Amino acid sequence: MSLPFHNARSVVLQEIGAAGVVAAVEEVALDDAAGRVLVSAVLADRDQPPFDRVTRDGFAVRSVDVAAAAGAPVSLAIIGEAPPGQVFAGQVGPGQCVEIMTGAPLPAGADAVVMVEYTERPVGGGTLVSIKRPVAARENVVGRGSEIRAGQPAFPGGRRLDPAAMALAASLGCARPRVVARPKVAIITTGDELVAVDQTPGIAQIRNSNLHSLAAQVVQAGGIPIALPIARDNLASLRALLAGAIDKADLLLLSGGVSMGKYDFVEKALSDLGARIVFDGVDIRPGRPLVFGFLRGKPFFGLPGNPLSTLVTFALFVRPALDLLGGIAPVTVGLPCAHAQLGEDFSQRKVPLTVFLPAQLATAAGTLQAIVRPLPSQGSGDLVAMARADGLLVIEPGVTALAAGAWVPVWPK
């Protein structure tokens, strides 16, 4: 059964969500949690910032003392300095100020900071500073707790720990967060024509590029790739390899052997093992003969073997599936596309498929406007075009021509 593109994505998400398949939960050191998904909210252990934090180098003042600086400079007495990491022991009184650096706590008695650019000191130093402009109360100061209060959630469970979230978790003392374990993905590449990357191919052989591209995509998606031996074009050996693979992983990923050729055994081998095949085709190009289903309660994908088809179908279908298995929810059905102007006329024959074309982005001269141009490609086996691409130009079903300057969706690589 072949499905339209958006229907197929929706079915994948619904089926995996309904199956309730999710990786285990574990507590890890913060540095090992990068890219992982939090199980529960991280609470602030103290106010952020924990004190009235100064945001500029300059002088901490009482704003009332420098109000007259709009007309003429005001002279203040410097009673000390406040570097970051130290609390000034005294208090700023009338006509006084404290030299202060970015990140330091605001001294008691002061309510604002004059930037050093608006001050002048006598040659050779001295204990007086000339303030050349007024400041409003709280200017160049971030108030205690203005970002988050102690006890409040910094971010909820279900949030992926990106670098900014890692920094905030560290600042809140979250040394060992509880996160969803990385989904394990067993990868089987199929075909008698395949040899390992470190071998010299025969005249009719090719190196197993799909194994390495899929493993890289799995890692990028937050999973753990488990590389299994190449499955040769033999039904019995493929069936045996599949039977052992499903018990090692949370998701099974196959590449090749899913078309209608004489040596395409994937669907037969899966059916022999009792797999439930949800669909075995999607109305896209490249990647139409995609197979999705469940084996022993775990999801599997049979991806086409052509390298571009493998890359595209992983990103379209396997990536959102891994998001669900890794604790990310909800996952949107639509693609997170940007839009750019087509840099040249485009035409193709009419097909009832959503077409994804390797494309390069550029910036129009003298503007920030993105321009997209499809790359010359030899079809779904053209790794060179995909490696050079910045993204994929998305053409809706039935579209035969687009004029230069048309706004088109571009799916970032």
Q: What is the mean pLDDT of each run of 10 residues along the chain (413 residues)?
A: 88 89 88 92 94 97 95 95 95 97 98 96 84 97 96 90 94 94 94 89 90 95 93 84 89 82 72 92 93 94 90 92 85 78 94 93 84 85 83 94 95 86
Asked whether residue 332 is domain-assigned, the answer is no
Residue with token string 């990103």: 315
Q: How many angstroms separate the CA atoms of 159 and 328, rounded?
A: 7
Domain boundary among 128, 152, 180: 180
Residue 251 in contact with residue 300, Cβ under 8 Å? yes
- pLDDT at res. 233: 80
Asked whether residue 150 is domain-assigned, the answer is no
131 and 77 part of one domain: yes
* Start-to-end C-alpha separation, the chain: 28
Cis (ω within 30 of 0) for the bond into 330? yes
Residue 60 belongs to domain with CATH number: 2.170.190.11
Q: How many angstroms separate the CA atoms of 189 and 232, rounded?
A: 9
- pLDDT at res. 361: 92
Asked whether residue 147 is domain-assigned, the answer is no
216 and 293 part of one domain: yes
Q: Which domain holds residue 348?
A: 338-412
110 and 214 part of one domain: no
Asked whether residue 148 is domain-assigned, the answer is no
Residues 6+ apart with CB under 8 A from 67: 134
Asked whether residue 208 is domain-assigned, the answer is yes
119 and 226 part of one domain: no
- pLDDT at res. 291: 94
Residue type, 141: V
**pTM confidence score:** 0.82
Asked whether residue 149 is domain-assigned, the answer is no
229 and 256 part of one domain: yes
Asked whether residue 393 is domain-assigned, the answer is yes
303 and 362 part of one domain: no
127 and 206 part of one domain: no
Domain boundary among 291, 325, 359: 325
191 and 319 part of one domain: yes
Of the candidates 253, 202, 205, 201, the one whose C-alpha atom is nearest the C-alpha of residue 227 is 253
From residue 337, how far is each of 167, 264, 406 by CA, in Å? 28, 33, 15
- pLDDT at res. 60: 98
- pLDDT at res. 263: 46
Domain boundary among 325, 347, 367: 325
193 and 272 part of one domain: yes
Q: How many angstroms separate the CA atoms of 160 and 143, rounded?
A: 28
Residue 350 belongs to domain with CATH number: 2.40.340.10
Residue 221 belongs to domain with CATH number: 3.40.980.10
224 and 312 part of one domain: yes
- pLDDT at res. 363: 87
The number of distinct structural domains making up the chain is: 4
355 and 233 part of one domain: no
- pLDDT at res. 376: 86
- pLDDT at res. 19: 85
36 and 166 part of one domain: yes
Asked whether residue 317 is domain-assigned, the answer is yes
